[in-house]
Structure 1
Amino acid sequence: MQLKSVTSQSPWLPLVLIAPFFLWGTAMVAMKGVIADTTPLFVAGVRLVPAGVLILGASWYWKLPQPKGWKAWLWIGLFALLDGFLFQGFLAEGLARTGAGLGSVMIDSQPIAIALLSSWLFGEVIGLWGGIGLLIGVLGISLIGLPDGWLLSWFSEEAVTWSWSWQNLFNNGQWLMLLAALSMATGTVSIRFVSRHVNPVVATGWHMILGGVPLFALSGWWETEQWVNISASGWFALGYSAIFGSAIAYGLFFYIASQGNLTSFTSLTFLTPVFALIFSNLLLGEILTPLQWLGVMLTLVSIYLVNQREQLAQKWKKNTIPPVFKQLEPVPERIPENPLTHPKH
């Protein structure tokens, strides 16, 4: 099976591109529902190690080349540290200390860092429209996840409310979510270097195992009663998070990230809180506020701007340059007919 041929088929391409973010959004809902009955580091390990085994099993079935040489393993180790151990550890610990909506805001701020790093390392052009789209995306996910009272306090003159809100903002796990976002951003950028030495799907599987085993070790050292209180539905949620939210989602994400434009592709990360809110409403009965609905609309606008930034820039340039400055096509010079050779009609 050739993964490249699957992602290059135009009818399925939009679904393939959106799939990781749909699976991540729904996995966030599943994790939030079970994390109260278990422990954060155990959940992080469950998301990584079984998923890594599944991905490696699929890679062996597809006969994908395994890592060879110390450079390949060195890059996989760095990848495992950034996107496996640090990202999943910070994510699980932060999710246990903050709300899912606010946590999604911090996690999904990563496209900003990815866009800046990709511009610096790979020369990817953000441009005016891409920059506007990224800023609108940050505003959109902020409206989705930040508490309405905290947002409305910006327009209030009560300094006490402002101070109290900032204090609570940074004491409930938000910094952990921000660290998780930065860890995944650097891990996503590193996949370009990893893929030079090893197949990106194979690297994804190994980085999950190498990053997840230390999380299990820390869970055994610091945490207790990791699985005693988990119900059947809780194990189903963990299984969904591991298989769909990790194995399939990460396999697709890092394969596509190693091939295409990182700024355009990772801008779709703004869809994650949208899917999370939709399924939180359907499965958990959570209601969207008017500000959150506005955030959803702004998020969709940001995705359009970032992904269509080159086309928009060309249209803008075409429509704003005065006609007098536009280069006229030269009129082809007419060669006189030779009466000796040209036949008469």
Structure 2
Amino acid sequence: MLVTALAPAIWGSTYLVTTELLPPGRPLLAGVLRALPAGLLLIAVTRRLPKGSWWWRSVVLGALNIGAFFALLFVAAYRLPGGVAATVGAVQPLIAAGLSAALLGDRLTLRTLLSGIAGVVGVSLLVLRANAQLDALGVAAALGGAVVMATGVVLAKRWTSPAPLLATTGWQLTAGGLLLVPVTLLVEGPPPSHLTGANLLGYGYLALIGAAIAYGLWFRGLRALPPTSVTFLGLLSPVVATALGWLVLGQDLAPVQALGAVIVLGSLAAAQIRRPAAAPTTAEPEPAHQPSSPEPATAPGARA
């Protein structure tokens, strides 16, 4: 669980890298250069291509977890303040819990529901501002991003690939990156003709650390943990982003934001608690005691 938590913690650094190293106004290009090179690298390393039904499954999972999610995130980021987008996106664990109950047969508990609500409240205290403006299309995009990501997480749990983890991760990153290419060209136009060293460093970080490593850890956790537990770990991203803004960029950290971070961490911890296995209600009757017959006399060596 701690290893899986590294993935959303890494994603929390995306805001810092984007604002400090990447060219402004090109979020979709950042999504393409984050996903596609990482996916192709993992495919080259593992030398495995999908087989049978995993051709279309990889496209579906790549679209949900990468392509559609990045595109909707882009719309939400442009039409909503960051705090509103993050708060709406924080409903993802609740959506994943409902989908897990419907598709995987997982039990939807009251503790999970309360933890999810507390997570939304904590994120809103952490990042939401009083002067935030709402936009219907932006809210719909943020909610759609939460839905497609939660659906991708649950389907990734339902469809267990026989291939190595890094190969499956590479398929999804490549499929999602390829789906983003035409959208990026249509919305943002061709890539900039000149990229600085800082730009290349930022794109390299997002591809290698933010995609190849982080998504590998994320999908590894999905193979071992319930999908609802994994999606709750995603609430770490706004906490890490806020902490980095305070430590690196010198942004103010109000007491209410600290309270929000505490609530988020508390909801995350509460969601990971698993009910212990029930003890058997009845014990098997012990066999009736039978008097043992005298042991025949044997030599010490034979008895040994």
Pair 1:287–1:229, CA change in 2 (3 A)? farther
Pair 1:141 & 2:123 matched = yes
Q: TM-score, normalised on structure 1?
A: 0.74
Aligned-residue Cα RMSD (Å) equals 3.1
Pair 1:59 & 2:15 matched = no
- Which deviates more from structure 2 when the two are superposed, residues 135-144 or residues 124-133? 124-133
2:216 aligns with 251
Pair 1:286 & 2:273 matched = no
Pair 1:146–1:68, CA change in 2 (3 A)? same
Give the match's secondary structure for 1:205: helix
**Equivalent pair of 1:38/1:227 in contact (CA under 8 Å):** no
**Equivalent pair of 2:80/2:134 in contact (CA under 8 Å):** no
1:301 aligns with 266
**Equivalent pair of 1:43/1:92 in contact (CA under 8 Å):** no
- Partners of 1:100 and 1:93 lie apart in 2 by 11
Unaligned runs of 5+ in 1: 1-12, 151-164, 315-326
Count of residues in Structure 1 that have an aligned counterpart in Structure 2: 292
Pair 1:202 & 2:167 matched = yes
Pair 1:243–1:109, CA change in 2 (3 A)? farther
Give the match's secondary structure for 1:310: coil
Give the match's secondary structure for 1:308: coil
Shift of 1:19: 0.8
**Equivalent pair of 2:157/2:227 in contact (CA under 8 Å):** no
- Partners of 1:229 and 1:284 lie apart in 2 by 26
Match of 1:75 among 40, 47, 57: 57
Pair 1:264–1:236, CA change in 2 (3 A)? same
- Partners of 1:34 and 1:89 lie apart in 2 by 21
Shift of 1:224: 3.4
Identity %: 28
Q: Which whole-Å deviations, capped at 9, do the CAs of 1:169-218 have from their partners, x for residues lacking one?
A: 12583432222221111111111243246444322211221221232223
- Partners of 2:87 and 2:213 lie apart in 1 by 23
2:298 aligns with none
Match of 1:275 among 223, 240, 251: 240
Q: How does 1:27-42 map to 2 (within 5 A)?
A: 27-33=14-20, 37-42=24-29
Unaligned runs of 5+ in 2: 295-304
**Equivalent pair of 2:235/2:268 in contact (CA under 8 Å):** yes
